[in-house]
Amino acid sequence: MSNKISETLTFECETGNYHTFCPISCVAWLYQKIEDSFFLVVGTKTCGYFLQNALGVMIFAEPRYAMAELEEGDISAQLNDYEELKRLCLQIKKDRNPSVIIWIGTCTTEIIKMDLEGMAPKLENEINIPIVVARANGLDYAFTQGEDTVLAAMAHRCPEQTMLIEKKKIIQDSNIQEFFSFLSLEKKEETTNKQFLKLKKNAPLVLFGSLPSTVASQLSSELKRQSIQVSGWLPAQRYTDLPSLGDQVYVCGVNPFLSRTATTLMRRRKCKLIGAPFPIGPDGTRAWIEKICSVFGIQTEGLEKREEKIWENLKDYLDLVRGKSVFFMGDNLLEISLARFLIRCGMIVYEIGIPYLDKRYQAAELLFLQNTCKKMCIPMPRIVEKPDNYNQIQRMRELQPDLAITGMAHANPLEARGINTKWSVEFTFAQIHGFTNARDILELVTRPLRRNNNLENLGWNSLTKKEKSKF
């Protein structure tokens, strides 16, 4: 295995023997995001046990998700799928009365070819609750791609935009007023008119990707500073508030793993996709805003200064990370954006492992990564798609990176061998988008470095027995 770091962006593909979470884990954050939803995972004990263990204490908070646990009779088709699902969904309706039930198809439903997409519309009519089907299974997808399948399925349920345009003239005023009150401008009375004139110009813009509501409103207000109005989010806080879509609508992604959703929005809903780097890190956020502004023909205001200010605020953390090396084992598809940000912070990235790389959807981000490397005079990292964890650990043994960003399966063993690790899943649950949260990313990245600075002088960095350690 060659460990030389190449001068251009190289793409490799390994065996796909890597550790990641099953995509059904998207249920964990999506049920919290979409307040009136209920997620029903149609699968086996294995899926249930994963959710129960991966999501830890959340299970005890009476979550709005459950397993439809398949039994032997379901597998051998002795029981009627439709009747069984109907029974469970009626019970869910009775107990929770959600506005939408989302069926998550799993490996098992794929293998026994359960026709969830066919059954959903029928059952939907019968029980009068929308049923959305997403096939978030481990046969096809990794971890965060689960959200992608759910949002792609939901994109079909968004109302058509034409209706809105017809009505728009009548409701425009009140609508925009409402919108302002939600965003709460600083000096509302004075600016409303000015902003109003400006905002009228920009065509509807829908952002897609599930973010905590605070982060979503931070990004919205970031765009509003540039006089761009966000007309909706996919997903919205409630299923009943899904944004309207159509051929007049521009869409832009906030997360790197949403390629199916992007494709669906373009091909099926005829939206115009804005391909931009993702708003992760102050550099990414600025590039993201600039790209959106350029599409709407708007000159950005004060963005440069704002970015600089953020970087200034990060100074103490930057001193800590500068010159340190990172190795991404890859499991959640945020890797390219995070690596780009860390390189801009002055770190050296040896390898970016990533489960799946959509070069078209991530094109702007990849270009940005390349430019950042040039700007910082840092060799281009190698990008390894479908990595092989065993090989990666061998490479890490030679490279001895200062930090490995990895899944929990490898974190403790690596720490025991004296390699600092950061658990990658935390990046999916922490708030990492926009200018405001840049510090949170570095907080995560530097945590093992800061902790180990405190412990460094104790002299027990490697904690494995010699004969056992194959590392």
Partner 1 sequence: MKLAYWMYAGPAHIGTLRVASSFKNVHAIMHAPLGDDYFNVMRSMLERERDFTPVTASIVDRHVLARGSQEKVVDNITRKDKEERPDLIVLTPTCTSSILQEDLQNFVDRASITSNSDVILADVNHYRVNELQAADRTLEQVVRYYLEKARKQGTLDQSITKEPSANIIGIFTLGFHNQHDCRELKRLLQDLNIKVNKIIPEGGSVKDIQNLPKAWFNLVPYREVGLMTAIYLEKNFGMPYISTTPMGIVDTAECIRQIQKNVNSLISNKNKIFNYESYIDQQTRFISQAAWFSRSIDCQNLTGKKAVVFGDATHAASMTKILAREMGIRVSCTGTYCKHDAEWFKEQVQGFCDEILITDDHTEVGDMIARIEPSAIFGTQMERHIGKRLDIPCGVISSPVHIQNFPLGYRPFLGYEGTNQIADLVYNSFTLGMEDHLLEIFGGHDTKEVITKSLSTDTDLTWNYESQLELNKIPGFVRGKIKRNTEKFARQNNVTNITVEIMYAAKEALSA
Q: How far is CA 250 from the centre of its chain?
A: 20
Task: Determine if 421 is a binding residue for partner 1 (CB under 8 A).
Answer: no
Q: Tokens 């094109």 appear where?
A: 363
CB of residue 383 to partner 1, shortest distance in Å: 19
Task: Determine if 356 is a binding residue for partner 1 (CB under 8 A).
Answer: no
Piece of the chain touching partner 1 by CB under 8 A; list 27-35, 118-126, 181-189, 269-277: 181-189
Footprint (CB under 8 A) of partner 1, residues 223-242? none
Task: Determine if 148 is a binding residue for partner 1 (CB under 8 A).
Answer: no
CB of residue 120 to partner 1, shortest distance in Å: 15
Taking the C-alpha atoms of residue 127 and residue 122, their distance in angstroms, rounded to an integer, is: 9
User: Judging by beta carbons within 10 Å of its beta carbon (0-12, 13-18, 19+), is residue 87 exposed, middle or buried?
Assistant: exposed
Given 3, 6, 10, 91, the residue binding partner 1 (CB under 8 A): 91
Task: Determine if 87 is a binding residue for partner 1 (CB under 8 A).
Answer: yes
Footprint (CB under 8 A) of partner 1, residues 252-291? none
Annotation-wise, does 377 bind a ligand? no
Taking the C-alpha atoms of residue 2 and residue 233, their distance in angstroms, rounded to an integer, is: 44
Annotation-wise, does 373 bind a ligand? no
Given 102, 142, 211, 251, the residue binding partner 1 (CB under 8 A): 142
Piece of the chain touching partner 1 by CB under 8 A; list 1-9, 244-252, 332-340, 402-410: 402-410
What is the size of the binding site for partner 1 (CB under 8 A)?
81
Taking the C-alpha atoms of residue 307 and residue 95, their distance in angstroms, rounded to an integer, is: 49
Binding mask 378-397 for partner 1 (x = CB under 8 A): ------------x--x----
Piece of the chain touching partner 1 by CB under 8 A; list 6-14, 131-139, 164-172, 196-204: 131-139
Footprint (CB under 8 A) of partner 1, residues 1-30? 16-17, 19-23
Given 101, 133, 137, 271, the residue binding partner 1 (CB under 8 A): 137
Given 409, 429, 451, 455, the residue binding partner 1 (CB under 8 A): 409
Task: Determine if 105 is a binding residue for partner 1 (CB under 8 A).
Answer: no
Largest Cα–Cα separation, the chain = 78
Residue spans of alpha helices (H) in 204-347: 213-225, 259-267, 281-295, 303-313, 315-321, 335-344
Given 27, 68, 120, 419, the residue binding partner 1 (CB under 8 A): 68
Task: Determine if 407 is a binding residue for partner 1 (CB under 8 A).
Answer: yes
Annotation-wise, does 22 bind a ligand? yes
Task: Determine if 218 is a binding residue for partner 1 (CB under 8 A).
Answer: yes
Piece of the chain touching partner 1 by CB under 8 A; list 153-161, 169-177, 195-203, 406-414: 406-414
- Contact in structure between 4 and 126 (CB atoms under 8 Å): no
Residue 205 belongs to what H/E stretch? strand 205-208
CB of residue 6 to partner 1, shortest distance in Å: 26
CB of residue 290 to partner 1, shortest distance in Å: 19
Task: Determine if 429 is a binding residue for partner 1 (CB under 8 A).
Answer: no
Nearer to partner 1, 79 or 176 (CB): 79
Task: Determine if 333 is a binding residue for partner 1 (CB under 8 A).
Answer: no
Q: Tokens 């349920």 appear where?
A: 157
- Contact in structure between 83 and 56 (CB atoms under 8 Å): no
Nearer to partner 1, 67 or 206 (CB): 67
Task: Determine if 112 is a binding residue for partner 1 (CB under 8 A).
Answer: yes
User: Judging by beta carbons within 10 Å of its beta carbon (0-12, 13-18, 19+), is residue 391 exposed, middle or buried?
Assistant: middle
Which of 165, 163, 164, 198 has the alpha carbon at shortest distance from 180? 198
Taking the C-alpha atoms of residue 273 and residue 112, their distance in angstroms, rounded to an integer, is: 36
Taking the C-alpha atoms of residue 361 and residue 357, their distance in angstroms, rounded to an integer, is: 9
| CB proximity list for 306: less than 8 A, separation 6 or greater | 286, 435
Task: Determine if 244 is a binding residue for partner 1 (CB under 8 A).
Answer: no
Nearer to partner 1, 85 or 334 (CB): 85
Residue spans of alpha helices (H) in 23-67: 26-33, 45-54
Q: Tokens 């994109």 appear where?
A: 155
Task: Determine if 210 is a binding residue for partner 1 (CB under 8 A).
Answer: no
Taking the C-alpha atoms of residue 387 and residue 366, their distance in angstroms, rounded to an integer, is: 18
Nearer to partner 1, 203 or 463 (CB): 463
216-222 CB contacts, 8 Å cutoff, 24+ apart? 217/183, 218/433, 218/434, 218/435, 218/436, 218/437, 219/254, 219/279, 219/433, 219/434, 220/183, 221/183, 222/279, 222/285, 222/289, 222/434, 222/435
Nearer to partner 1, 378 or 449 (CB): 449
Taking the C-alpha atoms of residue 285 and residue 297, their distance in angstroms, rounded to an integer, is: 18
Sheet with 250-253: strands ordered across: 232-234, 205-208, 250-253, 272-274
Pairing of strands 325-328, 348-354: parallel
Footprint (CB under 8 A) of partner 1, residues 37-66? 42, 44-46, 48-50, 52-54, 56, 59-60, 63, 66
Footprint (CB under 8 A) of partner 1, residues 286-315? 309-310, 313
Residue numbers in the known binding site are: 22, 47, 107
Residue numbers in the known binding site for [4Fe-4S] cluster are: 22, 47, 107
